[in-house]
Structure 1
Amino acid sequence: MSLAIGRVIGDVIDQFTPSVTMNITYNSHYTVVNGHELMPNIITSKPHVKIGGVDMRSSYTIVILFLCTLKNIYVYACINVFFFYMKIMTDPDAPSPSDPYLREHLHWIVTDIPGTTDATFGTSCMDNVLIHSYCKKVMYAELIKNSGYVTGREIVSYEKPKPAIGIHRYVFLLFKQRTRQSVRPPSSRDHFNTRMFSQENDLGLPVAVLYFNAQRENAARRR
């Protein structure tokens, strides 16, 4: 089902032209497909989001230094960042599709997602010492755990969908940021407005959008 038929275009966003691919997977193998339904017990934990279609024309490099205790030398990681993305998840049917007076209900915001996570390594030594694989593993772990360069910054934590009444649409929107930026989280999850939020943060139109449907567990099983 298209975004227009599902009224995502209109209720949440204006017409746009997708420029990257976005794949969203719950529990490792439940893929989000526009208009398809997912059971509530599948969507309790945050999904894995994979972004493709990187534009390499505007890039810069982040250099991070680590002390490799195994060889007692400084090791650097060069991360080539082409640009950053922001992903948003909302429910335009809260609390019910027939009376969505809380539209949109915000479920998730992650900012500063790098357009690539490719990394190269080097050392502070002049004799080109071979970097031990252990050091690389430690560096990757530190990058993922502390820096936010690999996974982005979660400014609104993932809230699992709870469709109490009727069939709800859950919309994922991907925006391209002009640079890393400080984004103020909304004061409330209710009455979130994607268009207004995009304007306030100079995001423009989204570059990719996906949505799925969900309803209360008992109602879904009766269908």
Structure 2
Amino acid sequence: MEDIVPDVLDAVPAGTIKVTYGDGLEVKQGNELTPTQVKDQPNVSWSGLEGKSNLLTLLMVDPDAPTRQDPKYREILHWAVVNIPGSNVDPSGGHPVTAYLGSGPPEGTGLHRYIFLLYRQENKIEETPTIPNTIRAGRLNFKARDFAAKHGLGEPIAANYYQAQYDDYVTIRNKTIVG
């Protein structure tokens, strides 16, 4: 998994999250997608929780900021949804702690990994103010491990990721973000 272990995780999760962007474009364990293709929030699903009543947390992080060789902002939080109810992942039913923000790797920084992590929650996570997709503050130097430890999530039960590098959409996206 492209050094995701140990950069972000301690072990490879057993399950795979299905992540689909518009026009049926699927995330497939490291395939390359463009910032233009992933600008809108994807559909996310995972089978394996049927018959189980519980809550889930979904995180999306980029551990390669500003570059994979110099990840001083590791990790950038692109999306966080907690308290997702039920046996299937539908982030719209949960509480978005951090609104979805598509990929925006700076020009000349090469491929960045964008990792989706799914955790089973034992308890409801108290809702915190949502970071909108127009705000950078609160997204840099996020640590999935620390978030999981703080909320007693344990290791993720499923994951998936794609890679992206700069395209012209990044310039457009960055004009909408402050902080």
* Same fold, TM-score > 0.5, yes or no: yes
**Counterpart in 1 of 2:101?**
159
TM superposition shift of 1:184: 3.9
**SS state at 2:77 partner:** strand
**SS state at 2:6 partner:** helix
Q: Name the TM-score, length of structure 1 as normaliser.
A: 0.66
**SS state at 2:149 partner:** helix
Aligned length: 159
Question: Structure 1 residues 205, 158: closer, same or farther in 2, change over 3 A?
Answer: same
1:7 is aligned, of 3, 16, 26, to: 3
**Alpha carbon RMSD of aligned pairs, Å?**
2.2
* Partner Cα separation in structure 2 for residue 100 and residue 189 of structure 1: 14
Instruction: Say whether residues 1:107 and 2:103 are aligned partners.
Output: no
Letter in 1 for 2:140: D
Instruction: Say whether residues 1:209 and 2:159 are aligned partners.
Output: yes
TM superposition shift of 1:207: 0.2
**Residues 72-129 of structure 1: CA deviation (Å, up to 9, x unaligned):** xxxxxxxxxx101100000000111221110101100001112337xxxxxxxxxxxx
* Partner Cα separation in structure 1 for residue 150 and residue 101 of structure 2: 23
**Residues 118-149 of structure 1: CA deviation (Å, up to 9, x unaligned):** xxxxxxxxxxxxxxxxxxxxxxxxxx9xxx9x
| Consecutive unaligned residues in structure 1, runs of 5 or more | 59-81, 118-143, 219-223
* Partner Cα separation in structure 2 for residue 25 and residue 85 of structure 1: 19
* Partner Cα separation in structure 2 for residue 55 and residue 28 of structure 1: 27
**Residues 180-201 of structure 1: CA deviation (Å, up to 9, x unaligned):** 2215469721111111111011
% same residue: 34
Moved more, 175-184 or 30-39: 175-184
* Partner Cα separation in structure 1 for residue 81 and residue 158 of structure 2: 15
* Partner Cα separation in structure 2 for residue 102 and residue 44 of structure 1: 21
Moved over 6 A (4+): none
* Partner Cα separation in structure 1 for residue 50 and residue 102 of structure 2: 32
1:116 is aligned, of 87, 90, 94, to: 87
* Partner Cα separation in structure 1 for residue 62 and residue 23 of structure 2: 23
Structure number with bigger Rg = 1
TM superposition shift of 1:51: 2.0
**Counterpart in 1 of 2:69?**
98
CA contact (8 A) 1:21 1:53 kept: no
| Consecutive unaligned residues in structure 2, runs of 5 or more | 132-136, 169-179
